[in-house]
Amino acid sequence: MARHRDLGTSNREESPKVKISRDSLKEGLMIFKYLRPYRGHFIGGMIFISLSAANTMTFPYLLKKLIDSAHGNLTGAFAAAPGTIAAVMIGLLCLQLVISYMRIYLFTYVGEHTVADMRKDIYRHMITMSMDFFAQRRVGELSSRITADVSQIQDTVTTVIAELLRGILTFVIGIAMILFISLKMTLLMLGVVPLIVAIALIFSKFIRKVSRQAQDQLADSGTVVQETLQGITNVKAFTNEWYEINRYNKSIRDVVNLSIKTGKYRGVFVSTMIFTVFSSIVLVFWYGVGLMQQGIVSDGDLTAFVVYTAFVGGTLAGFADLYSQFQKTLGATQRVRELLKEETESVAVKAIENLQEEYKLQGNVSICNIKFSYPSRKDITVIKDISIEAKSGEQVAIVGSSGAGKSTFVSLLLRFYEPDAGKILFDGKEAASIPLSQLRRQMALVPQDILLFGGTIFENIAYGKPGASQEEVTAAARKANAHDFITKFPEGYQTIVGERGTKLSGGQRQRVAIARAILKDPVILLLDEATSALDSESESLVQEALQNLMQNRTSFVIAHRLSTIRKADKIVVLEDGMVKESGTHEELVTIEEGLYRNMTKLQLFEA
């Protein structure tokens, strides 16, 4: 069974690495656009990270002084009693407490605010994209942009930049101090450290590759669980529990084998590094002891040298991981930038309190010779030539076989897409001359497949008019024949409908959607096969609710069951993207060999 791992299903998903170049660095500069409002806090954090590095690198030098003071080797201006040196070290530790707190606080403040602003911009931009954009992308992929990619950027702002500055300062100060202590031991150390760094880089790169394989396999096992639970009805119906158990067990075995393989290589890596590092320390100590016996260096010099060497070596090893993290950040910023460059619809992103008088519609709609192909399938003309006239308050039914262009017609009315040719007029005005938000504010769609949000029934109905009162919501529910079933729930209107409204039946979801449309009080109503999937009892209740909804409104009804549209003012029959017949029910059934007449006969025969 083929499975595609959705980008949004795994918490372990990592942003792709991008080669560091002039272009990728230019893309990465977008971060600083969001840092700008918090540059004061950011600069403060950089200052404190610098103080932290300087303070930390002071300790080996003071340790040297403390050891030398015990042997009475201190002379001149820096001579001090051991107690005095220890007190200074304790004082620096107290200062480090304040520095560390301020550093973490400032970078966290900057990181959280930066990421929050970035997520707001991405979400605002994403939600104003055209329908074609969403038709060509997976939900998981888009979710990944606002979660995984932005989190990677946040890590850079709060951690990577700080650690990079700390590493540079530690490396520079460390090299300067070991050169100051002993040039000969520094040359020996510099001959050994590159070997350690090379081993670390080679092993870490290989281990990351195997770890990535294990993570991908673990994500695949999670996909098995997700697919099985989502399709549990099919699993039970086909008695394939054993098959799914074996499929999951095999996936987990692969995870275990890859993880053990990773563990083996980690074991070799750690063992090799321990041997190499400690051998190097022994070598440097042995050479240092010889210099100490010759009186070239003191006990404190040797101790401080070893500590500084450890700092330098650790910093060099850390640079490899910082480089990897930086590559991932550039990959994340590149993907976010690609999203933000996408063209959006010109919709309002703030609440519109009142409908502007100049854009108020009466409900007259004229469709004039429109043609349309989906942007992703330009070679297939879905609508070839359609002209329909609807006067204010009329009910126009759209019928036809599957693929005739009925749902596409509704999408064009809502301006989800723009026609390739022809015009759509509202009250004689071209659709393009009316702002999208003003136009859609006066239209309501009740689709066949109702999607309810996972909140309460009240919230789902009030979605048609945000801020509506309980009385308004209740009145809309009564007109939609939904009030009775809602009040039978223990929590009434505060009942949680579950993900996608799964706790409600199909008829109940339809009536909640109709109540939402009634509350919106649209001028133009679009019904896309709103009763085709319901049983007779539910259909009767929903049909009555729809009649309440359609009163005094221009309505376009896409119908599968022709018995529900007999009273329509006009019935338009589509075939292959063109209008084949148009008229009332009584007119169309009299056409010999007419499409509508044949469809009516067929449905009567099936009944």
Average pLDDT value for residue range 44-51? 90
Average pLDDT value for residue range 191-217? 72
Question: Domains in the chain: how many in total?
Answer: 2
The pTM score is 0.70
pLDDT of residue 350: 65
pLDDT of residue 3: 40
For residues 68 and 176, state if they share a domain. yes
CATH of the domain at 142: 1.20.1560.10
Contact 326, 209 (CB under 8 A): no
Using CA atoms, how far apart are residues 29 and 33, in angstroms rounded to an integer?
7
Average pLDDT value for residue range 178-190? 81
Contact 555, 391 (CB under 8 A): no
For residues 158 and 189, state if they share a domain. no
pLDDT of residue 78: 55
Question: Which secondary-structure segment (H or E) carries 22?
Answer: helix 22-28
Q: Greater confidence, 509 or 546?
A: 509
Whether 144 shows a pLDDT value over 80: the answer reads no
pLDDT of residue 2: 38
Any domain includes 276: yes
| Three state DSSP letters for 509-577 | HHHHHHHHHHHHCCCEEEEECCCCCCCHHHHHHHHHHHHHHHCCCEEEEECCCHHHHCCCCEEEEEECC
For residues 176 and 292, state if they share a domain. no
Any domain includes 163: yes
Any domain includes 556: no
Average pLDDT value for residue range 254-283? 78
Q: Greater confidence, 552 or 346?
A: 552
Any domain includes 501: no
For residues 259 and 175, state if they share a domain. no
For residues 64 and 136, state if they share a domain. yes
For residues 64 and 96, state if they share a domain. yes
Using CA atoms, how far apart are residues 85 and 372, in angstroms rounded to an integer?
83
> What SS3 state is found at 455?
coil
Q: How confident is the model at residue 102 (pLDDT cuts 50, 70, 90)?
A: very high
Structural domain for 276, as ranges: 183-296
> How many residues appear in the chain?
607
Any domain includes 54: yes
Cβ atoms within 10 A of the Cβ of 126, count?
19
Q: How confident is the model at residue 126 (pLDDT cuts 50, 70, 90)?
A: confident
Using CA atoms, how far apart are residues 101 and 78, in angstroms rounded to an integer?
30
Whether 536 shows a pLDDT value over 80: the answer reads no
Whether 310 shows a pLDDT value over 70: the answer reads yes
Instruction: Please give the backbone phi and psi of residue 503, each rounded to the nearest 5 degrees, phi first.
Output: -80, -5
Any domain includes 63: yes
Q: Which of 40-49, 156-165, 207-216 has the weakest average pLDDT?
A: 207-216
Using CA atoms, how far apart are residues 578 and 580, in angstroms rounded to an integer?
6
pLDDT of residue 203: 72
Any domain includes 514: no
For residues 92 and 155, state if they share a domain. yes
pLDDT of residue 22: 65
For residues 190 and 175, state if they share a domain. no
For residues 264 and 231, state if they share a domain. yes
Any domain includes 593: no
For residues 57 and 79, state if they share a domain. yes
Q: How confident is the model at residue 539 (pLDDT cuts 50, 70, 90)?
A: low
For residues 176 and 223, state if they share a domain. no
Average pLDDT value for residue range 562-577? 84
For residues 74 and 218, state if they share a domain. no
Q: Which of 4-13, 431-440, 570-579 has the weakest average pLDDT?
A: 4-13
Whether 606 shows a pLDDT value over 60: the answer reads no
